[in-house]
Amino acid sequence: MLVMNINDIMKVLPHRYPFLLVDRIEEREAGVKVTGFKNVTINEPFFQGHFPGHPIMPGVLLIEAMAQVFGAYIAVFDSHGPDQVTYFVGIDNARFRKPVLPGDVLRMELEMLSKRRGIYQFVGKTYVGETLVAEAELKATFANK
């Protein structure tokens, strides 16, 4: 089973603070299922403006976190090189079920649905504990930098 810590993730993703939104990745089924984790703290820069006195993690960042998990995993699993970067090409059926607050630990479960002509299609669900907080169908591809 593949496990990626933050140092491993930073070797394959170009994202850095404040936009690196995954702390650990664990493979569940080779090439198909992967789980990522993010510790959400009050120190996240987006909480200053979203919203003062009532901090809630923006839904678009939940989607981005799911994409980072899958992008990092596929970069390793499919052996994409450091000269390539992951691009979003589609987001469908995004739903936000519950607010994500400082102190929450995100568990992002992603499953690849297909890979056709270099386009990866996957479904992602994000949980806090056992509570589903966000879900979406995502499409991404790799391109040269």
Show which residues are catalytic.
50
Give, in order, the Cα–Cα distances in Å from 6 to each of 10, 50, 82, 107.
Answer: 6, 26, 16, 15
What Rg, from alpha-carbon coordinates, does the chain have? 15
